[in-house]
Each structure stands twice: as structure tokens, then as C-alpha cells.
Amino acid sequence: MEGCTVLLAVQIPETLDSRSAYSDEKVVTYATDTSYQPVMPYETVRYVEKKEWKLNDVASGRVSMEEFAAQLDAAQLADLCCGTGWGVQDENNPVIGASSESVPGAAGETTHALESYGVSSIVLADGPGGVRITQQFEATDLESGEKRQVYHYCTAWPVGTLLAQSFDPEILEQVGCGMAADMQAMRIDLLLGPGMNIQRDPMCGRNFEYFSEDPLISGKMASAMVRGLQSLPGGGGCIKHYAANNQETNRNAVDSVIGQRALREIYLEPYKIAIQESQPLSIMSSYNLINGVPTADSYDLCTDLARGEWGFEGLIMTDWNGGSSTPWKSMHAGNDLIMPGGKGRAMNILQAVKTVMPEFDERGQVIMVQEVPFAPVFAARWNSFTVDPEGPDTVMAPLGEGHTAEMKDGEILVDGEKVYMQANDMKTFFNDPASFVPKICPANEEVAFILDDGRAIGYKGHLDKKPRLCLGDVQRCAVHNLRIILKCMGL
């Protein structure tokens, strides 16, 4: 065979690209108002009848989930896509009794605002090492009205790394079953675990929660634990943190720059395995960015991959406070639930769908809403309006009965007192709480003027009238949330 050339057939492996071209985006808006027209190029509209449906009508098959969601207005949909919990003014009060849904010490809940539609709140609790809630608390008994001490004792389970060293999915499933029993006893609907990030950096402060540096082991162990967590009706798991959140340094905002092959074969593979083998009820997106895009704002991760390629059927929620993500962008991406939510984030979503006029009190001052229960930090409800002395738009704030505005030394006074336009931020409060001033920027002649003989104040600025989302974007996320709420309700 001297002088012969041997040709070998070599198959070049294909590298799948997780980045979408956004060429196949399609969103359906279900509208009860026949005058509603598409506002986005990717949007189509289907008109449905306006009826007073309840969520149990969906369970009985009388109406589809999309038709039910169409009965809710944009503000209600935004509330449904924003939860409550740590760090926000919580609408839910801890009670005990036959209809109890709030659990002190839980990480958060979905909204109670739609109970008139038969939509219950579901409770979310940490974590990968077992249920974490307040062990002892005082609560009001709904039946007697008396206050009493309540004690919750939960099982402490071995950490994820130790469990994975068994290399035995059956053990992980049994542990998940044990956690499910605790969840049912404590009225927890979703356990925020298992954690399944790849153990890339040995200095990562949460490596103990995760299973392995190996994507196959991580995926198999997570899917086994989820099967256990979902072995009892009405509860489920939440695989996290999706994805590539592997270091402690700048954990909340780091940009994980990863090539497509490494991303697919190492960092996304565990989630693919867990989704396809156990279908968890929920996924938690991560704080970090991947290749410049916050994970909660990534259409590629939330919609194209999780739902499109892998067949995920549950809801996707942000990690608490969402890292660098923006609520309205998360809605478009398919990140369905903003945690811990709050009215400010719901307003961010609502303003992306429609123009929301500013809100004023009877003195013509923009309404200031306290954002957190532990500090005098407020958010000014200018909504879709931005104050600007060069702005082309004006809004009018009528004064209530008995109030009069005047201009004095270049500032507007109402009943002799200043009218403020902004609030100081949280960073300023923590830097110097002793001298912190909650409300700042008095209304002055550059941006404000008096109307109607002192009975109204006008403000100059820009009114944002351009939608950034269609109603169908928020409806789609609400539908994902409602399906899991329905499952947790046992309907």
C-alpha cells in the first residue's frame, strides 16, 4: 500500500446556537374590546366574549385559560405577574385558620388582589436544604379571633453536594418526597429549589447548594429531587438559578461571557435534563447577564429554549429583585413572575403597555408611595410623565376644596407649604439615616405654574405615549402563572 492515501470520513459536530433571530416571534392578544387593534408587529388579536368567568370555570372546562385572562384589565394582569415578599410593602397578612394562605418567613407569594376571580395566592419558600420559614410567630386565629403562638418545625436535609455524592437518583427522589411532606404540612406551594448551578468557581458562596461541576450529574440529581417534590398534589419545585450564576464576586450583576458550545454543553444541559425528565412547576432565572443580556430579559432563555426546545410548561420567576433585569422586558422575554414584585414593578409593566397619567394628592403634589416597610423611602407616582422644563407636554393637578396655590420666591406653595416632586433614594438613606430627608425638589417656576386662580398646578415635561409591550405579552405570562396557581389549588 506504499504511496496510497487513506481518506477518513470525519463528522464535524454541530454547535447549536442559543441566540434567536427573533424572526418567529408571535404573540396573541385576547381582547374583549372589539376596538382593540395590534400595537406591535409581532402581535395578532383574537376577540372573545366579555363574561364574568372565575378560575374554577377554567378547571371545569367551560372556558380556556386565555379567555379567562382576557377578562382581566392591564393593571390586574400586571398585579398577577408581580408577587409580594421580602423588601416590599406586603399586601398579605399572616393569619392561621381554615383558609390560611400566608406563611410567615416564606420568601414570597403571588398576589391576593384577584381573589374575587377565584385566584388564590400561592406561597413560595426557600430552599434547597428543606423548607425555610419562621419557626415561631404570633398570628390571629380566623375562627376565634384570638392571637396565639404558632410553631413550625421543618426537617433539615443534607446539602445538595452531599446528596449528589450518593450518585443515586432514588435517594434524591426520596429526599424530595420528604420535603414535599413538609411543604404540605406548612402550606407551601412552591419550594425554591433545587439549586443546580455548575460548581465552576470554588469560591462561590452557594456551591454547597449545588450538586456538581458535572452537567449530567447535576441534571439527573435535580430531576430526581423534583420528582419527589412533586409527588404530592398541590406542590412543586423550582430549579434555579437559570443559568450560569456560578460566582460570588458581583453575583447580582456579573456578565457571564460564554461561547455557544460551552453554554449548551455545560451550563444549560442540566436544566434541559431536569425539564425533560421531571417537568418542574417553575424555574428561577438568575441575577447575572449572559453575553450582555440579563437572564430574566432573555427571550432566548425563557421562550426559545425552555419552552420552545425543551417543552417547559410551568412558570418562570425572577430571583429576588431581579438583578439587572427590567420588569417589562422580562414580560416580553417570557419571565412570567417578578419577585418579590410590589406596586412599583407592576407599574413598570403597566406603563409599557399603556400611558398612565401621574397621580396627585389634594395639594397638587405627586403622590409618594412608601416602597419598603423598614425605611421612609418613597416612589413618586409620575408614571408615564417625566418632569422637564423643556418638555412639550403639560399635566394639570387640580387642588382639593379649601386649598390654594401661590408662587413665592420662585417656588410654588400650597397653603403656605412647599410641594415636592421627588423622593430620596434608598442608598442616600443607608449612607446617612440620621439626616435623611424623604422628599426633595420643591416645585418651582422652571417646571411648574399656577392655573385657575390658584386652584390647580401645571407641570411641564414629557408624556410617554409609545407602548413597548402589547397586552398579549402580559397575558401570556399571566396564563403561565394561572396554570400553576390552578395546579397548586388542586383544581
Query: Do the beta carbons of residue 154 and residue 130 sit within 8 Å?
Result: yes
User: What one-character-per-residue DSSP string does 226-276 give?
Assistant: HHHHTSSTT-EEEEEEETT---STTTTT-EE---HHHIIIIISHHHHHHHH
For residue 434, give the C-alpha cell: 440620621
Quick check: is 425 catalytic?
no
Angle at which helix 343-353 crosses helix 471-489, to 10 degrees, equals: 140
For residue 371, give the C-alpha cell: 416602597
Torsion angle of C-alpha atoms 84, 190, 328, 34, degrees rounded to 10: -100
Among the listed residues 319, 393, 409, 432, the single catalytic one is 319
Chain position carrying cell 374575587? 116
Three-state secondary structure call for residue 453: helix
N-term to C-term CA, the chain: 75
Cα(485)–Cα(491) distance, rounded to whole angstroms?
9
Q: Where are the alpha helices (DSSP H) in 50-115?
A: 55-59, 65-69, 74-80
Q: How far is CA 6 from CA 9, 11, 12, 45, in A?
A: 10, 16, 18, 61
| Cα diameter, the chain | 109
Query: Do the beta carbons of residue 454 and residue 431 sit within 8 Å?
Result: no
Is the peptide bond between 376 and the residue preceding it cis, with omega within 30 degrees of 0? Answer: no
Residue positions annotated with a catalytic role: 319
